[in-house]
């Protein structure tokens, strides 16, 4: 350690650091999707929302010089896309999954089109909070430079968990998701609830996108998301529609994504394609372990088009 | 600009610029309506491979009398054939530059057979005798520029540990890693290059993770071979490491951390091609070169580069430019201890053996599979 290197400790540290750095977009998209799906609708378009969020955050941050305005713009863009999804799905006999796929293509395409002039300039980034001030190890300090958005996400997960259980709003969303008839009988408009839930979901997914372009990797380009939005939507099913499980699953995905490069950096170089595939192998493994032929997915909202 | 209404004065200026001044009034191969098409696989302002080609196209735009049409983000599928056909039929393009490696076979070959009077120039060095004569393939020995980057990196690194973020272990990439390492060892015989393969040409999150992992290992100078070096350059600079660029000059992204870089010099090559056509010569079907032929270049040195490093690098650069220097000069061992180039064997730039490179030289930490 005297020469400033930490040898094999790089691997756990990179997985830990990666869990913090890479997980935030997963976390925001999956929490957003969790809200939407709990209200009984699937929004597959969040990949498009994520990319649109990343682009608009970068653009607004570049034009105004304030990254926080960029985050807000990403959220607003996301909720507009959410409103579009919910609006189209409010029409009779519209399939939410098909609309989601259309919006995914629309969102990414629009972001690439509008984002063309943004590839070159450098926008102000979100600041990081230095939680590693107590340590002399440069690597640990780097891993502990944490962005506020990550912390907001971590706090949001238990808040959502609590809100779904105990607040009036949580109960309404769950009612709309479990039995739209019950919600209607109580005098609530299911479509209005789902519209709001999808907009909030889009807002969070857009913020997840702003993290990609404004913090890590930290610039706008067209390969930025490379499917993270899709992964995060799948992660909700994997997390059984539970916000706390979404948090753990996002952290596991982030850590797994850091594993491949970290192992190569300490000289474990054989089979790196396999290590790069770690997040997907992890998903498969957990899916296989937790599935059962005897019951349907536990926790799945009854009104979802995939379970109905 | 309306090319249909181009004045005679413009035409003459154009001819003069193309060294056609003497042949006043003679029918030139390049009339005012000459249209050249450029096709890119990605976006042309990516601070990388595509931007390098777009800079070459921009150099042609400055020549009066040429019309440049460009299309970006064209997939390496029959989409590129459609793009070529529309450039030919709708825009009247007579010279086409499909710049991505995967455009060549079968797409460009098919078009070259279909339009035998037009000229097709592909970047990648794939042309062989059985291909159509109106098709050509050109490529640069950018490992020469990587070698210079290596020398500068070797002098600048305090830890003697260099990092290389690479996409895939194909011969071209391995050759760059090896040249970079051999260059670094000229400056510091103990220098090592740690390589991380991300698995694909554009994986921003993986590239950022690779950069962070390398720096955690004590690496203090990094370079890369991926499509868009922006992610590596920005993330390395944020962590306080130095970088050597690739494809184009990335110094605007990290002015303090940027040491030098291996750049394509298409803005010198493309006007040469146009001149050849204008003069009635044919472009060689197989066109390759390095620093000497001005197909690659080295970025200007950053402020962190020491005088000693500049001197050594400039010295080697001058020799390479003169064409009397061999990078892959035996004996060279691979990093498993096997002799890959025997003592006394010089593998010059054009040696076909180098095109099959499947090893990493001694001093590289990493594996090809």
Q: Find the helix packing angle between A190-214 and A10-38, rounded to 10°.
A: 160
Tell me whether residues A4 and B73 touch, CB distance under 8 A. no
Tell me whether residues B212 and A223 touch, CB distance under 8 A. no
Q: Please check whether residue B322 is in contact with residue B292, taking contact to mean a CB–CB distance below 8 angstroms.
A: yes
pLDDT for position B14:
53
CA B324 from centroid of its chain's CA atoms = 21
pLDDT for position A247:
95
* Contacts for A33 with CB less than 8 Å, ≥ 6 apart: A42, A43, A46, A201, A205, A232, A233, A236
Tell me whether residues B46 and A226 touch, CB distance under 8 A. no
Mean pLDDT of B59-73: 91
What are B162-215's pLDDT values in tens digits?
Answer: 999 999 898 889 999 999 999 999 999 999 999 999 888 888 889 999 999 999
Tell me whether residues B206 and A260 touch, CB distance under 8 A. yes
* pLDDT category of residue B27 using cuts at 50, 70 and 90: very low
Tell me whether residues A142 and B215 touch, CB distance under 8 A. yes
What DSSP element (H or E) covers A278? helix A278-290
DSSP string, chain A: -TTS--GGGHHHHHHHHHHHHHHHHHHHHHHHHHHHHHTT---TTHHHHHHHHHHHHHHHHHHHS-HHHHHHHHHHHHHHHHHHHHHHHHSTT--HHHHHHHHHHHHHHHHHHHHGGGSSS-PPPPPEEE--TT---HHHHHHTEEEHHHHHHHHHHHHHHHHHHHSHHHHHHHHHHH-HHHHHHTT--HHHHHHHHHHHHHHHHHHHHHHHHHTSS-S--TTSSTTHHHHHHHHHHHTTT-HHHHHHHHHHHHHHHHHHHHHHHTT--TTHHHHHTHHHHHHHHHHHHH--TTS--TT--TTSTTT-
Tell me whether residues B204 and A272 touch, CB distance under 8 A. no
Find the closest chain B residue to A11 by CA distance: B213
H-only helix segments in A2-90: 10-38, 46-64, 67-90
Q: Which of B72, B75, B216 to mutate to test the interface with A (most CBs of A within 10 A)?
A: B216
pLDDT for position B8:
54
B302: closest CA of chain A, how far (Å): 20
What gap in Å lies between CA B83 and CA A183, rounded to an integer? 54
pLDDT for position A238:
81
Residues of B in contact with A17 (CB under 8 A): 212
pLDDT for position B350:
85
* pLDDT category of residue B29 using cuts at 50, 70 and 90: very low
Query: Considering CB atoms only, which of B45, B197, B202 is closest to A264?
Result: B197
A58: closest CA of chain B, how far (Å): 15
Q: Is the ipTM of this complex over 0.90?
A: no
DSSP string, B173-203: HHHHHHHHHHHHHHH-TT-EEEEEE-SSS--
CB-defined contacts A:B, below 8 A? 124
Q: How many CB atoms lie within 10 A of CB A272?
A: 22
Whether residue B23 has pLDDT greater than 60: no
Q: Which two tokens stand for residue A114?
A: 């509008």
What are A122-138's pLDDT values in tens digits?
Answer: 889 999 888 888 888 88
Q: Please check whether residue A42 is in contact with residue A305, taking contact to mean a CB–CB distance below 8 angstroms.
A: yes
Tell me whether residues B205 and A260 touch, CB distance under 8 A. no
What single-letter DSSP state applies at residue A127? P
Three-state secondary structure call for residue A41: coil
First to last CA, chain A: 58
Residues of B in contact with A124 (CB under 8 A): none
Tell me whether residues B216 and A14 touch, CB distance under 8 A. yes
pTM, two decimals, is 0.84
Query: Considering CB atoms only, which of A142, A217, A270 is closest to B367?
Result: A270
Question: Looking at the DSSP assignment, which residues form a beta bridge with residue B244?
Answer: B260
Tell me whether residues B198 and A269 touch, CB distance under 8 A. no
pLDDT for position B22:
39
CA B366 from centroid of its chain's CA atoms = 24
Q: Please check whether residue B135 is in contact with residue B285, taking contact to mean a CB–CB distance below 8 angstroms.
A: yes
What gap in Å lies between CA B309 and CA B154, rounded to an integer? 8
B13 interfacial to chain A (CB closer than 8 Å): no
pLDDT for position A44:
92
For strands B296-298 and B339-341, give the pairing: unpaired
Whether residue A223 has pLDDT greater than 90: no
What gap in Å lies between CA B351 and CA B169, rounded to an integer? 20
Q: Is the peptide bond before A217 cis (omega within 30 degrees of 0)?
A: yes
Tell me whether residues B204 and A226 touch, CB distance under 8 A. yes
The torsion angles phi and psi of A66, rounded to 5 degrees, stand at -115, 110
Q: What is the pLDDT of chain A when averaged over all its residues? A: 88
Tell me whether residues A221 and B234 touch, CB distance under 8 A. no
Burial class of residue A28, CB neighbours in 10 A (0-12, 13-18, 19+)? buried
Contacting B with CB below 8 Å, chain A residues are 3-6, 10, 13-14, 17-18, 21-22, 112, 116-117, 119-120, 122, 139, 142, 216-219, 221-224, 226, 228, 257-258, 260-262, 264-267, 269-270, 272-273, 276
What gap in Å lies between CA B322 and CA B290, rounded to an integer? 11
Whether residue A198 has pLDDT greater than 70: yes
């Amino acid at each position: 350690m005297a020469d400033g290197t930490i040898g094999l400790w790089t691997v756990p540290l990179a997985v830990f650091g990666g869990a913090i750095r890479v997980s935030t977009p997963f976390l925001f998209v999956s929490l957003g999707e969790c809200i939407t799906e709990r209200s009984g609708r699937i929004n597959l378009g969040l990949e498009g929302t994520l990319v649109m969020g990343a682009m608009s955050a970068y653009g607004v941050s570049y034009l105004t010089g304030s990254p926080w305005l960029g985050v807000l713009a990403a959220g607003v863009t996301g909720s507009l896309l959410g409103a579009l999804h919910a609006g189209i799905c409010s029409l009779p006999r519209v399939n939410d999954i098909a609309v989601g796929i259309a919006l995914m293509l629309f969102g990414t395409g629009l972001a690439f089109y509008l984002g063309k002039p943004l590839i070159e300039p450098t926008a102000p980034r979100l600041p990081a909070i230095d939680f590693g001030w107590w340590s002399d190890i440069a690597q640990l300090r780097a891993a502990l430079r944490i962005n506020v958005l990550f912390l907001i996400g971590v706090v949001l997960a238990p808040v959502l968990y609590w809100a779904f259980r105990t607040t009036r709003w949580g109960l309404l969303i769950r009612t709309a998701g479990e039995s739209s008839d019950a919600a209607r009988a109580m005098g609530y408009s299911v479509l209005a609830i789902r519209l709001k839930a999808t907009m909030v979901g889009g807002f969070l997914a857009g913020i997840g996108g702003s993290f990609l372009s404004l913090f890590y990797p930290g610039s706008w380009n067209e390969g930025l998301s490379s499917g993270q939005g899709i992964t995060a939507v799948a992660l909700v099913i994997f997390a059984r529609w539970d916000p706390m499980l979404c948090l753990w699953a996002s952290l596991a995905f982030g850590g797994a994504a850091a594993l491949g490069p970290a192992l190569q950096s300490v000289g474990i170089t054989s089979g790196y394609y396999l290590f790069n595939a770690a997040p997907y192998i992890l998903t498969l493994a957990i899916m296989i372990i937790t599935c059962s032929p005897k019951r349907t997915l536990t926790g799945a909202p009854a009104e979802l088009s995939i379970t109905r | 600009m309306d090319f249909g209404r181009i004045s005679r004065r413009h035409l003459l200026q154009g001819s003069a610029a193309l060294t056609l001044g003497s042949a006043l009034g003679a029918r030139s191969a390049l009339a005012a309506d000459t249209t050249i098409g450029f096709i890119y696989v990605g976006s042309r302002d990516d601070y990388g491979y595509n931007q390098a080609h777009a800079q070459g196209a921009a150099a042609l735009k400055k020549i009066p009398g040429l019309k440049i049409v460009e299309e970006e983000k064209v997939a390496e599928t029959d989409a590129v054939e459609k793009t070529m056909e529309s450039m030919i039929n709708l825009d009247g393009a007579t010279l086409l530059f499909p710049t991505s490696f995967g455009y060549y076979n079968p797409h460009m070959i098919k078009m070259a057979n279909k339009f035998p009077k037009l000229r097709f120039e592909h970047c990648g060095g794939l042309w062989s005798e059985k291909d159509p004569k109106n098709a050509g393939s050109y490529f640069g020995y950018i490992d020469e520029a990587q070698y210079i980057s290596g020398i500068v990196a070797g002098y600048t690194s305090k830890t003697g540990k260099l990092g290389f973020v690479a996409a895939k272990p194909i011969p071209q990439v391995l050759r760059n890693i090896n040249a970079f390492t051999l260059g670094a060892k000229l400056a510091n015989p103990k220098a090592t290059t740690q390589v991380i393969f991300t698995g694909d040409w554009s994986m921003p999150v993986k590239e950022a993770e690779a950069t962070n992992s390398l720096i955690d290992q004590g690496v203090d100078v990094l370079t890369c071979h991926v499509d868009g070096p922006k992610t590596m350059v920005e993330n390395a600079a944020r962590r306080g490491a130095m970088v050597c660029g690739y494809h184009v000059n990335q110094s605007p992204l990290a002015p303090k951390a940027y040491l030098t870089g291996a750049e394509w010099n298409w803005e010198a090559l493309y006007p040469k091609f146009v001149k050849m056509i204008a003069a009635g010569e044919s472009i060689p079907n197989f066109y390759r070169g390095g620093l000497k032929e001005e197909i690659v270049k080295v970025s200007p040195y950053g402020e962190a580069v020491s005088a000693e490093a500049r001197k050594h690098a400039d010295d080697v650069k001058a020799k390479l430019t003169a064409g009397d220097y061999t990078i892959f000069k035996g004996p060279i061992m691979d990093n498993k201890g096997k002799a890959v180039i025997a003592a006394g064997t010089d593998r010059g730039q054009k040696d076909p053996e180098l095109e099959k490179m499947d090893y990493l030289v001694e001093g590289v930490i990493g594996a090809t599979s």
